[in-house]
Amino acid sequence: MKILGILASHKEHGLNAQMLEHVLDNVDSGVETETIYLENYNITPHKYHEENPVLDELANKLMESDVWVFSAPTYWRECPGLLKNFFDCMRPKFVYFKDNGDTIPGPFKDKHYMSISSCYMSTTENFLTGITDETFKTIDRVMSAAGVIKVGELVLPNTFGMKEIPEKKIKLCKKFGHKISKKQEKDDSTVKRYIQLFFMIAVMALVTMGIQIPLKAIMPMNNFWVSYVSFVVIFFVLLAVILHWVTFVKHRRR
Ligand SMILES: Cc1cc2nc3c(=O)[nH]c(=O)nc-3n(C[C@H](O)[C@H](O)[C@H](O)COP(=O)(O)O)c2cc1C
């Protein structure tokens, strides 16, 4: 079992480097780790009929690892260029192309990854506006195309003037170090999602019917169509709120 840390910060020993180090220092015994600092590599796109030993070397490192840990600060409210360039140049290695130009997961399918990001913005501001979301979204988009499975996220907001990682975050890093050390089987959450959906619908139907009871005072609820239309409208509003909430908390912000 091997875990590869991929550091994509301008600072080789900055906060993202420290977060990554805390994760990798806490992997279970017997698990091998390696960190690559993307700035040390001259990453350029692959040109037809030309060798690209840098991309080959990086692809080999990815292939020989079971879990990848991306650590990338948020720059300009999104993924740092260093990591984006790595993703752009690695595209032909991450995915296979179909005749019609569509892509399917390439040779790294079913490997695992986790993401770390940070920002100057305060914890409350990041919780409310989610500027680190964009960094996570870019990583997720690329990994999803490559068929690589997500293990988790860590975020460090409020980094302005910060020199050392707060104890609470160090504990989380340790937790993730252990978590990613366990060999994970292919993530098939289909059954889990159906169960979640069932309970969501059951609760929403109950709430909708509960809201309909007092409406009897102002609407002729024993009329089938009035009852049906009000049910649909209330259910829709609740569904929209829940979907918004699920999207809102999808990425770790604190
Ligand atoms: C080019 C650049 C752009 C940045 N843009 C943002 C930003 O849009 N919002 C923010 O909160 N912090 C921003 N920051 C602050 C970084 O997120 C912060 O420096 C990072 O948390 C530090 O991580 P490091 O020690 O690993 O470099 C930016 C920093 C740089 C260098």
DSSP state of 119: -
Whether the CB-CB separation of 111 and 68 falls below 8 Å is answered with yes
Who contacts 151 (Cβ-Cβ below 8 Å, separation ≥6)? 67, 112, 113, 114, 176, 179, 180, 184
| Protein residue with least CA distance to atom 14, ligand 1 | 75
Nearest of 89, 92, 66 to residue 183 by alpha carbon: 66
Kindly report the CA angle at 149 between 182 and 56, in degrees rounded to 5? 95
Confirm or reject: Cβ of 75 under 6 Å from ligand 1.
yes
**pLDDT value at position 170?**
98
Q: What is the mean pLDDT of residues 134-145?
A: 96
**pLDDT value at position 243?**
81
Confirm or reject: Cβ of 14 under 6 Å from ligand 1.
yes
Q: What is the mean pLDDT of residues 109-138?
A: 96
**pLDDT value at position 191?**
86
What six digits make up the tokens of 7?
């550091």
DSSP string, 34-89: EEEEGGGS---PPPTTS--HHHHHHHHHHHT-SEEEEE---BTTB--HHHHHHHHH
Confirm or reject: Cβ of 182 under 6 Å from ligand 1.
no
Tell me, in angstroms, the distance from the centre of ligand 1 to residue 13's CA: 14
Confirm or reject: Cβ of 165 under 6 Å from ligand 1.
no
Confirm or reject: Cβ of 250 under 6 Å from ligand 1.
no
Q: Which of 18, 76, 122, 133 to mutate to test the pocket of ligand 1 (most atoms within 8 A of CB)?
A: 76
**Ordered alpha helix ranges (H), 99-223:** 123-129, 133-146, 167-179, 190-215
Confirm or reject: Cβ of 18 under 6 Å from ligand 1.
no
Over residues 72-117, the pLDDT tens digits come to 999 999 999 999 999 999 999 999 999 999 999 999 999 999 999 9
Taking the alpha carbons of 153, 154, 159, 163 in that order, is the dihedral positive or negative? negative
| Protein residue with least CA distance to atom 8, ligand 1 | 76
The rounded distance, in Å, linking the Cα atoms of 20 and 117 is: 10
Tell me, in angstroms, the distance from the centre of ligand 1 to residue 120's CA: 6
Q: What is the mean pLDDT of residues 117-140?
A: 96
Confirm or reject: Cβ of 13 under 6 Å from ligand 1.
no
Over residues 165-221, the pLDDT tens digits come to 999 999 999 999 999 998 766 556 778 888 988 998 999 999 999 999 999 999 999
Q: What percent of the chain has pLDDT over 90?
A: 87
Domains recognised in the chain with CATH numbers? 2-179 (3.40.50.360), 190-248 (no CATH)
Confirm or reject: Cβ of 76 under 6 Å from ligand 1.
yes
Q: Is residue 244 scored above 80 in pLDDT?
A: no
DSSP-assigned beta bridge partners for residue 33: 3
Confirm or reject: Cβ of 10 under 6 Å from ligand 1.
yes
Q: What is the mean pLDDT of residues 28-57?
A: 96
